[in-house]
Structure 1
Amino acid sequence: MFTTIKACTDFIFSLKAVDHKREPLVMMREVLAHLGNPQDTLRTIHLAGSNGKGSTVNVLREMLENEGYRVGAFTSPHLSRVNERMTINGGQISDEQFLQYMNNIASIIEAHYAGDYPSFFEVVTLIMFQYFAEEQVDFALIETGLGGRLDATNVITPLVSIITTISLEHTAFLGDTFAKVAFEKAGIIKEGVPVVVGVKNEEALAVIQKVAKERHAQCLVLGQDFTVVAHQQEMTSQSFDYRSAKVAINGLQLKMAGAHQMANASLAITAMNILHEQGHVALSEQSIRQALQHAQWAGRFEQFANYIVLDGAHNSEGTAALIQTLQTVYPNQPYHFIYAALSDKDHANSIALMDTVATSMSFTQIALPNAMPAEQLAKLSTHKDKQYDTNWQTIVREVIHNKERQDIAVITGSLYFIAEVRQWLQEEMR
């Protein structure tokens, strides 16, 4: 049994999925059965996708909270501490509760599996289900960790599913084509359960629509069944209109920047409209407006003083969205990119995109076993003004200190990198 949160988290961080060769989801279902199947007591919204899950969750949470509901949210990764992954109305799970639910799992693993633990993500998913069930949340917003079909969260039957976007990521696990990745993400679609889709890639969308049809699931697609019309992007907000067959809302003000955030917001609005039509939630236009004005997501086009932008654009789709947002919000200012990432991503395409708009490119790395070496990242860049340093604090300080005052320092890549820089910046600015 674990007696301190540090011992507990140190242990679960050591758990690796590759160490366990069981059939996917079998152990999850068995352990959940031992726990009394807490997931079956929850009313859930299930989200999969390569980008945009967290932002969509935050808009949903704000809308539901505005209507007076108690809302659990399960997101990943965390920026500072693992407790961030499971919140109720924005408040993190306490260390005491985390330990309690982990020890429930530990006793089952020791008794029935000879101490052979599942992966880190499976363990935190098991903790989350216990927490939300015991706290009797009205709704649980649950992000997949990787893929969908075989994801540890895919033991629920939600009220509605959302698939945000599809890009080529984690190809060793999900497949090396848009169709293969889409098939894995579409695994969250359940028989007769509506699915809201923000996917634009035609190959991926065709797969999702085919799976939805096979499972008799209503499939609402951005750009076909509902639309957004952008109006104005300012430094701290943007405005757009939302349209569907049954709903039209003009002049929505969104705090989060970027066209991709309007798309994410529209997915949340559509999902809420479905829940409203089915009688699961109360929903007013005022709740939608207030939610969009307040929703924000740390590390996603997060702006700091001195023209510093942090964005966890961890794949080429995210990088393209970041650049589009930069060119909208700061169209006439030079961009100095600082990039660090893990080794399982499509770095060449992301770096090529940045190279085309950057004034300078800087590469670094973080202290994780699967971090991509800074030198290797730099070799992928063709920019005439590039540098690298294995110490990220050194290079971040240098870029911020040497840039012109209104130049933009864009710190991007892995969210683990963003988490470390974010904490450092907050301490530096105190």
Structure 2
Amino acid sequence: MFQSMEQCTDFIFRLKASEYKGEPLQSARIILSALGNPERKTKFIHFAGSNGKGSTLNATREILMAHHLKVGAFISPHLERPNERITINKLQISDKDFLRIMNVIADVVNNQLKGKFPSFFEIMTLIALQYFSEQKLDLALLETGIGGRLDSTNVITPEVSVITTISLEHTDMLGTTYAQIAAEKAGIIKTGKPVVIGVKNREALAVIQAVAEEKNAKSYVLDKQFFTQKTGTTSFSYYGDLTIEQLELAMVGQHQVSNAALAITASKLFLHTLNIQHVKEALKRAKWDGRFERVGDNIILDGAHNSEGTSALIETLQLVEPDKKYKFVYAALQDKDHAVSIQLMDNVAYQMYFTQIDLPRAAKPKDLCEQSKHEIKSAHDNWKRLIDKQMNELSEDELLIITGSLYFIAEVRGEFIKKGLI
């Protein structure tokens, strides 16, 4: 039995997906059955995609909360503490409830799985599903971890599925082509349940639509069944089954317009009717930490963890800060294709800096730096020392852009919070 949150989280953080050797989703289904199948007691919207899952989920949550619904949300990763991953109307699960449910799950694992725990992410998913089933929600929003078909969140049958974008990521697990990765993400589509799609890549889109057709799941595709028209730096109009003009966003960038449009469509499919004023108010509130987040005037945090995210980051930078010199600080995990992201940054950077965080899967700064062709570049083992130095040396015409893995952004945000910068 776990006696404290510190003891509990220290244990589950050590759980690795590679250490549980059962069939995919097998352990989750055994545990859920022992818990009385909590995943059948809640309505869901399920989110998958390479980029934009979190922002789209957050915008959907704001819209549904504005319509006076009680909304659970399961997200990843967390920025400060694991409780952030499991919320109801944005309030985090309490330590008491987290520990109580974890001890029940641990008892099932010890009795039925011979003490062989599934991964950290799977455990978090199970805690969320049990917690949501107890709280009498109107619905819960679930974000996949990696992929979709074999993801631990894929034990649910959602009312609506959402697939945001497809990039070449986690190629060691999901496949090396857009079609293969799309097939994994499309695994969240369920028979007869609508799917909202923001995917632009033709190869990936064709796969997803084929899966939807096979499962008799109606597709709602951005720029086919619903549309957006940008009307300003942070404003747009939405056209589909309903028209909403002059929506103002709390977040910047064309990709955030797309995310908001997916959220509106998913919300309408769930609720059937929307209050336009509620939607407008909701999107003005829908901020997402670590996504083009400003710290003071000259620092930006952005979890652009793959080439599509990096492209969106650069597009947004050139839109809102076209005259600044960009100084990138980049740290990433090994299981990403860094070459394209680094080339994109090289093309617009004033200076390039590479560093790492203390994670087993972290890419080495030297290896990242060698992929850069920039004239002014360097590798640094100590990210805190690097960022402190760069912050102290920033001039008014320079922007320090801290980007890469969301785990890196979480570490930096934590340090900034300690210093009172956030």
* 1:348-387 correspondence runs (5 A): 348-387=339-378
Whether the 8 Å CA contact 2:299–2:401 is kept in 1: the answer is yes
Report whether the alignment pairs 1:270 with 2:268: no
- Confirm or deny that 1:66 pairs with 2:73: no
Residues 360-412 of structure 1 show CA distances to partners (whole Å, capped at 9, x for unaligned) of 00111111111111111111100001112100011111222222123111000
Matching residue of 1:56: 56
In the alignment of these two chains, the number of paired residues is: 421
TM-score (norm 2): 0.98
Amino acid at match of 1:230: K
In the aligned structure 2, how far is the partner of 1:157 from the partner of 1:417? 33
**Conserved? CA contact 2:294–2:301, under 8 Å:** yes
Contact kept in structure 1, 2:121 and 2:145, CA below 8 Å: yes
Q: What is the TM-score normalised by the length of structure 1?
A: 0.97
Amino acid across the alignment from 1:241: S
Q: 2: CA distance between counterparts of 1:408 and 1:224?
A: 37
Amino acid at match of 2:200: K
1:416 alignment counterpart: 407
* Alpha-carbon distance between aligned partners in 1 of 2:420 and 2:126, rounded to the nearest angstrom: 37
Would you say 1:330 and 2:321 are equivalent positions?
yes
Per-residue CA deviations over 1:240-265 (Å, capped at 9, x if unaligned) read 01011x21111000011110000000
1:239 is matched with 235
1:98 aligns with 2:98: yes
1:339 lines up with 2:330 in the alignment: yes
SS in 1 for 2:146: coil
Partner amino acid, structure 1, of 2:356: Q
Q: Distance in 1 between matches of 2:292 and 2:76?
A: 17
Aligned to 2:246: 251
Q: Letter of the 1:35 partner, please give it.
A: L
Q: In the aligned structure 2, how far is the partner of 1:23 from the partner of 1:114?
A: 15
Counterpart residue number, 2:396: 405
Alignment of 1:29-428 (within 5 A): 29-233=29-233, 238-244=234-240, 246-277=241-272, 283-428=274-419
Measure how far apart 1:426 and its partner are.
2.3
Q: Describe the SS at the equivalent of 2:154.
A: coil
Matched position secondary structure for 1:359: strand
**Root mean square deviation of aligned Cα:** 0.9
* Unaligned segments of structure 2, at least 5 residues: none
In 2, the alpha carbon distance for the partners of 1:306 and 1:219 equals 42
Deviation >4 Å, runs of 4+: none
SS of equivalent to 2:24: coil
- SS of the residue aligned with 1:297? coil
- Report what 2:4 is aligned to: 4
The 8 Å contact of residues 27 and 113 in structure 2, kept in 1 or not, is answered as no
Amino acid corresponding to residue 145 of structure 2 in structure 1: G
Question: What are structure 1's unaligned runs of at least 5 residues?
Answer: none
Do the aligned residues in 2 keep the contact of 1:306 with 1:406 (CA within 8 Å)?
no
Q: CA deviation at 1:54?
A: 0.6
Residues of 1 paired with 2:267 and 2:361: CA distance?
38
SS at match of 1:355: helix
Match for 2:289: what amino acid?
A
1:165–1:200 contact (8 Å) kept in structure 2 = yes
Higher alpha-carbon deviation: 62-71 or 309-318? 62-71
Displacement, 1:283?
A: 2.5
Note the alpha carbon deviations across 1:168-203, whole angstroms, 9 max, x for none: 110111000000000000000000000000000000
The Cα offsets for residues 254-311 of structure 1, whole Å up to 9 and x where unpaired, read as 011110000000001011121232xxxx620011101110001000000110310000
Question: 1:185-237: per-residue Cα shift (whole Å, max 9, x none)?
Answer: 0000000000000000000000000000000000010011111111111xxxx
For residues 108 and 376 of structure 2, the distance between their equivalents in structure 1, rounded to whole angstroms, comes to 56
1:390 is paired with a residue of what secondary structure? coil
Quote the Cα distance in structure 2 between the aligned partners of 1:287 and 1:92. Answer: 24
Counterpart residue identity of residue 317, structure 2: L
